[in-house]
Amino acid sequence: MCISMALIAGATLLAGAATAYSKISTAQANAGLAKYENAVRTKQLNERRDMEQLSAIETENQRTAEFQRARSTAFAAIGASGIGENISFIQGIDPEQQKALLRDVRNVRLNLTSTESGIRDEIQVGAYGVRVAKANATNATIGALADFAQTAMSAVSFYKTYGTPARAGG
């Protein structure tokens, strides 16, 4: 009778150990997956940020080039007309056109700054998610070990109760 009770207690311990190992492995795998997903997402976000920067530079350069072409065309037309007094008209509107160009460039840069800020926030959220996944894995490991300890204590109690013959006179 004692051997079968010892076998039952041992099987209980073995099953508890297998369950604990499974829970710990799953928690570690989930934490590893969260870390990998975050690394891929961060890479994608950094690439997007780089593309947004290049796009903003290109847009700014295009707007500046358009302004310069329009300005040169206006001055060339005045020069070709031979009417020099019209230069005062261009001189009157040129500062306003320059201000409009600067506002446009500021808007492009502001949009870029806003986009970059959003990307930084997304990267920080991903990093926080990894920290949470690691904490959850640690908690799951502690829980699995505690469950195993409880199973072990139950197995010992079971064996002490049913595995040893009752002593006579004692």
Query: Total structural domains in the chain?
Result: 1
Residue 129: the pLDDT is 94
pTM over 0.85: no
Report the alpha-carbon distance of residue 138 to residue 150 in Å, rounded: 18
Helix (H, G, I), strand (E, B), or coil: what is residue 82?
coil
169 domain residue, yes or no: no
Residue-wise DSSP of 28-79: HHHHHHHHHHHHHHHHHHHHHHHHHHHHHHHHHHHHHHHHHHHHHHHHHHHH
Encoding tokens for residue 161?
Answer: 């109760």
3, 7, 8, 12 alpha-carbon torsion, rounded to 10°: 150
Percent of the chain with pLDDT over 90: 61
Residue 89: the pLDDT is 63
167 domain residue, yes or no: no
17: pLDDT strictly greater than 50: yes
Report the candidate in 22, 4, 47 with the shortest Cα–Cα distance to residue 148.
22
Report the alpha-carbon distance of residue 121 to residue 41 in Å, rounded: 12
43: pLDDT strictly greater than 80: yes
Report the alpha-carbon distance of residue 73 to residue 66 in Å, rounded: 11
Q: pLDDT digits over 93-110, tens only? A: 678 888 889 999 999 999
Question: Can you say how many angstroms the Cα of residue 113 is from the centroid of all Cα atoms in its chain?
Answer: 19
Report the candidate in 22, 13, 97, 113 with the shortest Cα–Cα distance to residue 63.
97
Residue 33: the pLDDT is 95
52 domain residue, yes or no: yes
170 domain residue, yes or no: no
Report the candidate in 170, 165, 161 with the shortest Cα–Cα distance to residue 9.
161
65 domain residue, yes or no: yes
Residue 169: the pLDDT is 47
* Average pLDDT of the segment spanning 21-33: 93
- Model confidence at 92, pLDDT cuts 50, 70, 90, reads low
User: Which is higher by pLDDT, 4 or 65?
Assistant: 65
Q: How far apart are the first and last CA of the chain?
A: 20
CB neighbour class for 157 (10 Å; exposed up to 12, middle 13-18, buried from 19): exposed
Q: Which domain holds residue 127?
A: 2-162
